[in-house]
Amino acid sequence: MNMPNMNPLLRLHAIGQRIWLDNLSRTLLQEGALLKLINEDRIAGVTSNPSIFYKAISESPYYREELQSLKADKTLTSEQRYETLAVADIRSTCDLLLALYKSTDGDDGYVSLEVSPALAPDAQATVAAGLRLKAAVGRDNLLIKVPATAAGLTAIEELVAKGCSVNVTLMFSLRHVREVAGAYLRGIQRLDANGGDLRKVRSVASLFLSRVDTLIDKRLEIIGGEALALRGRTAVALARIAYQDALGYFSTTVFSELAKRGARPQTMLWASTGTKNPAFSDVLYIESLIGPNTINTVPDGTLAAFRDHGKAEQTLTRDLDAARAQFAALQQLGIDLDAAGDELQSEGLKLFEDSFRQLLALTAA
């Protein structure tokens, strides 16, 4: 496992962490690049969002003919045209990963499709959209992506209670982690009470990292002095503490009883793992957060960087005292990490809404 020439992505897999690709397009599908990543790097899942689909549809030649045909049908809305294209890609990707899904008894091999970010304030509309998209894709290894907003928490519980697997997105704080775990647990309890099959539900909780460091580091630079030594450490500290918290949430007697009936613990997923600050390592958010029963979803560039020069060893449970000291130091400086997380969530949602509007403009007749 520690041979020097071994692909570090394979060593990650042996440790128990799964790597998902934070990208999807018909170019990746039709030219065989995604299949190669699955076969050679053991990519175990794929995520998508409005920004990814905007880039795919605007740049890949493989959409042009179908998009022209969809635009010719004036009975369709821009969103219906987009969903037609996206659902086809998601379904094809689910099929590529189906063998992995089956061989791991539903632990790996998932593809994420996001509900419209415009629905974020409306729990019931989010639930309806999630169930509709699930039916449209028609694959068991689909995760419906829902933001961890106040309304999103209600939607997550409801979707899980209805047997729908969920990827919770736009999490930026320990409070978000706690609230999302609670929503998932309530949903599983309801599904169990209604006689549902707990084994068929999978959930991941996506904690965004690089944006946390970007925001907190700006505040530390304003403070200056000794505070500058704290830069670049907050996101890793957040993830390490969140992992410990998640282990606690899903080791209770209540969840243990549900696990006996097939319930899976919600898995922590590290998102926004492309390093934004050039002063930091380009694989910072992979190398620092390697541990079992976790997922890291990475963009193409970060994936290539880690394959080239990444070091794969278990690091997620290291330096927990230092992580807690980082939080304490930030608190002493008057930096409220929960408030910062809410600010980042609002900004992230706005970015997704902007991308979604651009996407619909792309598919407008």
Catalytic residue ranges: 145
The Cα 277–Cα 216 span in angstroms is 12
- Phi–psi pair at 117, nearest 5 degrees: -65, -20
Helix, strand or coil for residue 317? coil
Q: How many CB atoms lie within 10 A of CB 66?
A: 15
Sorted by sequence, the CB contacts under 8 Å of residue 174 that are 6+ apart come out as 238, 241, 242, 245, 337, 338, 341
Alpha helices in the chain (DSSP H): 8-15, 26-30, 33-41, 50-59, 64-72, 78-96, 98-103, 123-137, 150-161, 174-193, 210-223, 234-249, 253-260, 284-287, 300-309, 320-332, 337-363
DSSP character for 310?
A: -
